[in-house]
Amino acid sequence: MLTLLIRLGLRAGEVAALELDDIDWRAGEVTIRGKGRREERLPLPVDVGDALVGWLRRGRPRCECAKVITRVRAPHRGLTTAGVSAIVRAACVRAGLPEVGAHRLRHTAATEMLRAGAGLVEVGQVLRHASVLTTSMYAEVDRDRLRTLALPWPGSAS
């Protein structure tokens, strides 16, 4: 679940909504049900697929629930958005890190894409933002990188 959040930049609700039939193993894609009832197909990176296989084989209890991420204790049903965020916070505590919610992992995914050289348009596409204005909030994340892109003021020495 954590891998889905940080590698695909999914929202907690998108992880909670993910169903077994949403994964197309042959095509290497996953269908995400996002905001506004939008459905989008995303590539399924190998490491994310491996994490899902590990969960499905060794973590997820055998049950009739169609959700990918389920409770490990009975009753075995899908998690809510709040349940996904609670697991993220619990993982932080186990790791000795400050507690954060699931949305922080989405923010981290965007930040890492920018640091790797992706532009705001690409980040917006991965995060499935409807507007580039929504993605523009990440422009302030890496001020040092922004300084290298900024043109010098006309007439200045630098």
Catalytic annotation present for 58: no
Catalytic annotation present for 138: yes
Nearest Cα to 19, choosing from 104, 79, 90? 79
Q: Scanning the structure block, which residue is given the tokens 């996953």?
A: 30
Of the listed 11, 60, 67, 128, which one is catalytic? 11
Of the listed 35, 38, 41, 115, which one is catalytic? 35
Q: Note whether 14 and 34 are within 8 A (CB).
A: yes
Catalytic annotation present for 103: yes
Residue-wise burial string across 67-90, b where 16 or more C-beta atoms lie within 10 A, e elsewhere: bbbbbeeeeeebbeeebbbebbbe
Catalytic annotation present for 11: yes
Of the listed 38, 77, 103, 115, which one is catalytic? 103
Q: Scanning the structure block, which residue is given the tokens 């505590």?
A: 93
Of the listed 60, 67, 106, 128, which one is catalytic? 106
Of the listed 60, 67, 128, 138, which one is catalytic? 138
Residues serving a catalytic function are 11, 35, 103, 106, 129, 138
